[in-house]
Structure 1
Amino acid sequence: MTVDVAPASDPVTRSALRKASWRLLPLIGLGYATAYMDRVNISFASLQMNRDLHFSNTVYGFGAGLFFLSYAACEIPSNLLLYRFGARRWLARIMVTWGLIAMAMVFVRTPLQFYAARFFLGMAEAGFFPGVVFYLMQWFPPEQRGRAVSRFYIGFPLSSVFMGLVAGALLNLQGHLGLAGWQWLFIVEGLPAVILGILFFLLLPETPAQAKWLTPEERDAIMTRVPAPKDPSTHALAPAFKDSRVWLLGLFIFFTLASGYAYSFSAPAIVQKVTGLPITNVGYLIAAMSLVGAVAMLISAAIADRRRRPFSHVIPACIVIAAAFVVFGLATNPVVSLTSLLVIVVSNYSYQGPLWSIGSSFLAGRRGAAAVAAMNSIGILGGFLGPYWMGFARDLTGDYQHGLLAMAVPMLLAAGIMIYLSTRSRPA
């Protein structure tokens, strides 16, 4: 797919976009890092929590995945409420709410309480990611969006780096002040979302027109290249749901998230099983793998934006991930197994920026909000399937290899969808 927009070559536009990058993306990146951390930190907590609370792998996998059912159900309403109330207020509300619920995980004692906590956490976080993508669509022209998304999405791998570095220390607080290590993990890793939610409310400008740190010429430059969405009537939502590309990308995200979360919600246990390392060293190893993935993400997004051919980055990555799942599923050598996991992690991070530059180019205005939310709502259901499948497969077979081997199939289906879309996709 090509984008028929001239590069931002004039000095005023370059200055405006540079300021927007520095003022918005680090804060949003921290917000997304916190979101992913509070979503997935049960993967580390489970190493103690499942033992203390006598949770089976199936109970854990179902609870881990339940987050995504409520997330999917509330995604579109949340994103449309963001359009109504404004990104600053709504994103701040989302973050404070999910932070408090994430910290409340310390009170979980039974499977039902675990399910309820994960369900309400997904409801609270719903709309954050597509809301941020829609927000950035108002600041960055199409040829800049892949890089912009990757620069805030860098919080995705960096959250894994942070979790890997601190998880061991937090779990080692076992018994301190009468709390288990996994309870300390939820408290310490839930608090940043509340703090960042307040900072979002105080620091994020609602639109480029309200950014006091832009000169009048810079504000005009951004609004000329990326016109602010007008308030359309309700029927303007219809094109988002009628566009087959929205549904195909949603299905693509479903397959890739099923595979990705099948691994990530079991990653500490898998790596510990492969290496035999103590949990602190497992955390460091996962952090190192995620750091390599973060570098790959930035490089891939920059190249994709320059070449304006995002499909050529997404399709090969999916095929490589599928092959790595097969290798891990059949491997008997720990070095081969660990290498295949590294390939899965790095390849998964590398296509994220190009993927969302494809999705965010389809529609504008409220239709754009609905399109991004619809894609994410369809796709996020894969987040329920992946962890639940891994828990079930682990209880059934006694290992993780069979579960991950099966994940090659959805990744190949995802590659097929992208190949098809690449032959017919055009900007709307």
Structure 2
Amino acid sequence: MASTSQQIIDEPPVSPDAAIGASAMRKATRRLIPLIALGYGAAYMDRVNISFASLQMNRDLHFSATIYGFGAGLFFLSYAACEIPSNLLLYRFGARRWLSRIMVTWGIIAILMLFVRTPWQFYTARFLLGVAEAGFFPGVIFYLTQWFPQELRARAISRFYISLPLSSVVTGLIAGPLLNLDGHLGLRGWQWLFLVEGIPAILLGVVFLLLLPDGPQQATWLTEDERTWIIHHVRNDPSLIGENSHALGAALFDPRVWQVGIFMLLMLGSSYAYTYVAPDIIQRATHLNTSKVGYIIAALSLLGAAAMLLNAIYSDRVQRRNPESNYPRYMHVIPWAFLISAGFFACSLSTNPISVVASIGTIIIAYNAMQGPLWSLPGSFFQGRSAAAGIATMNMIGMIGGFLGPYFVGFAKDLTGDYQRALLFMSLPMLLGAAIMFYLRAETRRRLHKT
């Protein structure tokens, strides 16, 4: 009798009614995804808005491409250094309080960017912004693994992660008007950009504190049956059968964590290599004004958002037919890695406006399309505290690429006088990334056959 009672406490009974699960997922999606998407959209906007600010700021402050690239990338070093501690603190204090703290502090520092005058002030501000924001993205990924089973995870991740391309749309649309405020109230246009775009993060931090539950157990808008369904299906993921899924050491030293982390380093290095210079590259090729360049990037980002959703839906559909393994996920990442490489190669060979825009569009679409399947992988390796540490470790390794990419492109541009050679070199990393995914796919297949 005691063992039966203990089992009830440790493992809630499962309702056979599939309608309960559908209702639970609808509620979780409706209550959580839009709020998280707004939060990450604000984070990404504050992270990359210097790509537009640089069109004025670099001239006003006499920053070279190397200074700008180093400062842009420095954010990622501090972010990476604080990644694991931040995610473990989230696990300890709960998502509601920790994510709210992250948002308020990064919003304040993003606004303070308007006081930058020297390279060292620029470096310091970007470094502190990375410290403040560290852990938000992997924290959200870990948080969603507590709500959505593996076969629904790519779609759930893509529905919040779509805020990345959509925030680029918003930034592209409002950057021109904000930069055109140049001189109003004694502020330059780039200062207006930092001021206005830092405010949403602070406001959303307060909203997170008020509305975000720490987990299904704290969600008052779930029925008891719905709460039981989520807890059971998350804990009993078929792809985790046979894994040492709760040991912290297993997560930190598991080869898959480092292999996916290196893939993310190559991916983010490639992504941010173009993100921080795309407005400049497009403006040089098209000779359009800042507002029209923003509209082009907004349109390309919308295509990226569509690709993200469609590939995630397709990936989840295939995953439902193979619930015992994440084996199919890799093939929903690999083709896009090749397309990113092709986009860089094509962009390096042409200065024709249409070719340049099409090449950058290819990179944007491919990068966004792979995100749902890619970020559904870590949650299939581990659970609990080890999942928080494992996801943070992968993202920590990846964030180093966010430093290397922009710094390399800025340095190469100062050295050679243009972006072409840097873009040609950047066609190589994702070829290695594709090889890593092929290897992980083969290893997953081997594990599956052993069991």
Aligned match of 1:244: 255
Q: Is the 8 A contact 2:169 2:299 kept in 1?
A: yes
Is 2:285 aligned against 1:274? yes
Q: Is the 8 A contact 2:282 2:356 kept in 1?
A: no
Deviation at 1:9? 7.9
Q: Is the 8 A contact 2:282 2:353 kept in 1?
A: no
Report the 3-state secondary structure (helix = DSSP H, G, I; strand = E; otherwise coil) of the residue aligned with 1:44.
helix
Aligned match of 1:5: none
Deviation at 1:421? 0.5
Aligned match of 1:59: 67
Deviation at 1:81? 0.4
Deviation at 1:400? 1.4
Deviation at 1:357? 0.8
Report the 3-state secondary structure (helix = DSSP H, G, I; strand = E; otherwise coil) of the residue aligned with 1:191.
helix
Is 2:331 aligned against 1:331? no
Report the 3-state secondary structure (helix = DSSP H, G, I; strand = E; otherwise coil) of the residue aligned with 1:173.
coil
Cα distance per residue 1:302-329 (max 9 Å; x no partner)? 0001112221121000011111211111
Partners in 2 of 1:71 and 1:242 — Cα distance? 21
Cα distance per residue 1:96-155 (max 9 Å; x no partner)? 000000000011000000000000000000000010011111100011111111000011
Aligned match of 2:393: 374
Q: How does 1:143-292 map to 2 (within 5 A)?
A: 143-227=151-235, 236-292=247-303
Amino acid at match of 1:259: S
1:401 aligns with one of 399, 406, 420:
420
Deviation at 1:266? 0.6
2:123 aligns with one of 112, 115, 118:
115
Count of residues paired in the alignment: 416
Aligned match of 1:88: 96
Report the 3-state secondary structure (helix = DSSP H, G, I; strand = E; otherwise coil) of the residue aligned with 1:310.
helix
Partners in 1 of 2:354 and 2:42 — Cα distance? 31
Amino acid at match of 1:80: L
Is 2:366 aligned against 1:355? no
Aligned match of 2:19: 11
Cα distance per residue 1:185-225 (max 9 Å; x no partner)? 00000000000000001000111111111111111111111
1:414 aligns with one of 433, 439, 446:
433
Deviation at 1:180? 0.4
Amino acid at match of 1:59: I
Deviation at 1:415? 0.6
Report the 3-state secondary structure (helix = DSSP H, G, I; strand = E; otherwise coil) of the residue aligned with 2:428.
helix
Q: Is the 8 A contact 1:146 1:301 kept in 2?
A: yes
Deviation at 1:228? 10
Cα RMSD over matched residues? Answer: 1.5
Aligned match of 2:361: 342
Amino acid at match of 1:405: L
Q: Report % sequence identity.
A: 62
Q: Is the 8 A contact 1:138 1:228 kept in 2?
A: no
Partners in 1 of 2:356 and 2:140 — Cα distance? 36
Deviation at 1:236? 2.9
Deviation at 1:348? 0.7
Amino acid at match of 1:301: A
Deviation at 1:164? 0.3
Deviation at 1:71? 0.3
Partners in 1 of 2:63 and 2:17 — Cα distance? 57
1:293 aligns with one of 298, 301, 304:
304
Larger Rg: 2
Aligned match of 1:232: none
Partners in 2 of 1:57 and 1:166 — Cα distance? 24
Report the 3-state secondary structure (helix = DSSP H, G, I; strand = E; otherwise coil) of the residue aligned with 1:174.
coil
Deviation at 1:332? 4.0
Q: Kindly tell me: are residues 348 and 179 of structure 1, through their superposed partners in 2, closer, same or farther at Cα, counting changes over 3 Å?
A: same
Q: Kindly tell me: are residues 381 and 9 of structure 1, through their superposed partners in 2, closer, same or farther at Cα, counting changes over 3 Å?
A: farther
Q: Kindly tell me: are residues 248 and 135 of structure 1, through their superposed partners in 2, closer, same or farther at Cα, counting changes over 3 Å?
A: same
Cα distance per residue 1:7-60 (max 9 Å; x no partner)? x98100000011100100000001111111100000000000000000000000
Aligned match of 1:79: 87
Partners in 2 of 1:91 and 1:283 — Cα distance? 30
Q: Is the 8 A contact 2:102 2:133 kept in 1?
A: yes
Report the 3-state secondary structure (helix = DSSP H, G, I; strand = E; otherwise coil) of the residue aligned with 2:222.
coil
Cα distance per residue 1:382-409 (max 9 Å; x no partner)? 0000000111011111111211111111
Q: Kindly tell me: are residues 228 and 37 of structure 1, through their superposed partners in 2, closer, same or farther at Cα, counting changes over 3 Å?
A: farther
Partners in 2 of 1:366 and 1:314 — Cα distance? 26
